Structure 1
Amino acid sequence: MIAALLAASLHAAALDAPAKCSPIPGAEDLWRDDVRYVFVGETHGTTEAPAAFGELVCAALEQGPVTVSVEYPVQMQPMLDAFMAADSDTAARAALAAYKYGPFVHHDGRGSSAMLDLLLRIRAMAKAGEDVTLVASVPDSPRAEGFSQSYSEMDRAVLWGRQAMARPQARVMVLVGRVHAEKMRRVGSPLGLPAAAHIRPEETVSLSVAYQGGEAWTCRDECGATPILVTDAGEARGVVLASQQDGKFDGLFALGPVTASAPIRP
């Protein structure tokens, strides 16, 4: 069922039209008044995760304004602003391509066809009058010499906090690599405290996209489709709120087996 819903939203994105929300089972549990931030931690380079995140944004907009925070460098914000403001999708795509160092040039899954479809859908929502903004969330934070803590994680949290303060009426929806969405300290890791863990836990819900098999487009020794392990219950679907990985996540975002989404140049 999830796959069919996502296919419908992708089709609407291809038609440059804001799709109606396709219900995600369990998503209604996310919209509590005390939840200010919703994090979705993904493996970059799948078709399903960005599309499903778009459905969550659509559902969140039925509750009120939304700030969508994506894992792109802050230097790319002027291009994202131009993308959202462009008069046509052709001009919008050109705005993304104008940043020479972004994910749509140096691909790691954040410059995939599925990510472009997500951005186009958010843009279509805004053009249709929805109260949604698009912001970048990767700070320019070099490692501080002599410190074991990665301060880029703290700086990400600062950016998310500023994004929340800039629109105090809006819920902040964050699509980010899985590790940054964790809410517990990584013992023995130079990462230290992941970004989401710097924010008051009672104000956040962090979901891990379930490992239910399939493939993701990754670049390690070589670029291409890479198998996804099966470590979560294969039959689960939708938002499942139950503590995961000893408290690292508040729940799963279960999409079933995923497919790889290859890089695309806008």
Structure 2
Amino acid sequence: MIAMLAAAALLASSACSPPSGAEALWNPDYRFVIVGELHGTVETPAAFAQLVCAAAEQGAVTVALELPTAMQPQLDAFLEATDDVGAVAILQSTIFGSVEMADGRTSLAMVEMMQAIRHLKAEGRDVTIRAFQPSNRRPASFDQNYYELDMAVELTRAAAERPESRVLVLVGNIHASKTRFDRFDLMPAASHLPRKETVTLNVAQQGGQAWNCQADGCGPHGLMVRYDAEARGVIMGPVSEGAWDGVLALGPMTASVPAVEERSQSPAATSSGARAGFVHTEPYPELTR
């Protein structure tokens, strides 16, 4: 709880500071702007919050997050909370207050990002948050491809509910790919969205650390440099044969711990992702520049 309150104390600034090159994302033909990340960093949620801020200067924005759809009532209440402490208390009553999904998607940095979005709404911006990770378990005979389809359906619903909105999506980088992921015989969620209305970015791997769950347990893990270490900002151009439309280069990453204080480091914690029914994200080895 103390850690979550500390995150809540970081107030959002009303001045938008999006990454350089972000103006390329505001093409009026783009209904979906998707950022594919490695979960568990400080920098990506902070940059995403600034992208939301910049988009909200132009019009309505629906922020789609890789959180369980069953959590939507709490997200709605969070946005309507009148103070930071009350807003954090609402989040703590969800997976943000447990180790069930402590894989980076419920980090302190994510809490800070969501608070920044809530502040935008309080300032009068037309923003909302939509969860799109399917909560219902799929039958055992239905593989990951059905899960990706379900994610795409949820994103489509989010767009249809607010057709005047641009949908900004923060999701694991595999789900954000527009092309087949051969390793898992997988068609990712983004590949099912209208191609001309969808722009995707992969967060460049430029070293540092991310807090995530791997075979050796959950915690900070080192990131190799797989992209120009000096590059910064939104850099458009096909990546990995069109898997993404560009990259978001933020420099070396800093690991962001889970918002919940009591977190498990045991190997058992790594199975939480499998129980939730999603593929953990990972760097694409061919991502070079």
Flag structure 2 segments of 5+ consecutive residues without an equivalent: 1-5, 262-289
Among 69, 73, 79, the alignment partner of 1:74 is 69
Secondary structure of 2:87's aligned partner: helix
> How far apart are residue 17 of structure 1 and its match?
4.2
Residue 32 (1) aligns with residue 9 (2): no
Number of residue-to-residue matches in the alignment: 253
Q: TM-score, normalised by structure 2?
A: 0.83
> Which of 84, 92, 106 matches 1:89?
84
Aligned twin of 2:98? 105
CA contact under 8 A between 2:7 and 2:111: conserved in structure 1?
A: no
Task: Identify the residue that residue 62 of structure 1 maps to in structure 2.
Answer: 57
The equivalences for 1:1-266 within 5 A come to 14-99=9-94, 102-106=95-99, 107-148=102-143, 150-190=145-185, 192-220=186-214, 221-265=216-260
SS of structure 1 residue aligned to 2:64? strand
2 CA distance for matches of 1:166 and 1:23?
Answer: 26
The one-letter amino acid of 1:189's match is F
Distance 2:85 2:104 in 1: 22
- TM-score, structure 1 as length reference: 0.90
**Does 109-118 or 221-230 show the bigger shift?**
221-230
Query: Deviations along 1:76-104, whole A, 9 cap, x unmatched?
Result: 111111111112211111111112xx244
Cα displacement string for residues 119-153 of structure 1 (whole angstroms, at most 9, x for unaligned residues): 00000000010000011110124344444552110
> Is the 8 Å Cα contact of residues 18 and 50 (structure 2) preserved in structure 1?
yes
Change (3 A) 1:32 1:135: same
1:13, distance to aligned residue in structure 2 (A): 7.2
**Structure 1: which amino acid aligns with 2:228?**
A
CA–CA separation in structure 2 for the residues paired with 1:228 and 1:47: 14
Contact 2:12/2:115 (CA < 8 Å) preserved in 1? no
SS in 1 for 2:199: strand
Cα 1:169–1:217 change in 2 (3 A) is same
Measured in 1, the distance between the counterparts of 2:229 and 2:242 equals: 21
Q: Is contact 1:185–1:194 with CA below 8 Å preserved after alignment?
A: yes
Q: Confirm or deny: 8 A CA contact 2:64 2:129 kept in the other structure.
A: yes
Q: Which amino acid aligns with 1:105?
A: S
Following superposition, the deviation at residue 207 of structure 1 comes to 0.2
CA distance, structure 2, for counterparts of residue 96 and residue 36 of structure 1: 28
Query: How far apart, CA to CA, are the structure 2 residues paired with 1:147 and 1:44?
Result: 25
What do residues 39-97 of structure 1 show as CA deviations (whole Å, max 9, x unaligned)? 00000100000000011111111221100011100011111111111122111111111
- For the aligned residue pairs, the C-alpha RMSD in angstroms reads 1.9
In percent, how many aligned pairs have the same letter?
A: 49
The answer on whether the counterparts of 2:209 and 2:254 sit within 8 Å (CA) in structure 1 is yes
Offset of residue 12 of structure 1: 11
CA contact (8 A) 1:142 1:152 kept: no
Other structure's SS at 1:19 match: coil
DSSP 3-state at the match of 2:184: coil
Per mean C-alpha deviation after superposition, the further-off stretch among 236-245 and 19-28 is 19-28
| Alpha-carbon displacement from aligned partner over 1:134-177 (angstroms, at most 9, x marks no partner) | 11110124344444552110010011001001001100000001
Runs of 4+, deviation exceeding 4 Å:
none
Instruction: Report the CA distance shift for 1:109/1:15 in structure 2 as closer, same or farther (over 3 A).
Output: closer
1:120 aligned counterpart, secondary structure: helix
SS of aligned partner of 1:129: coil
Report the Cα offset of residue 252 of structure 1: 0.3
- Tell me if the contact between 1:37 and 1:203 (Cα under 8 Å) persists in the aligned partners: yes
Is the 1:241–1:250 contact (alpha carbons within 8 Å) kept by the matching residues of 2? Answer: yes
Change (3 A) 1:223 1:149: closer
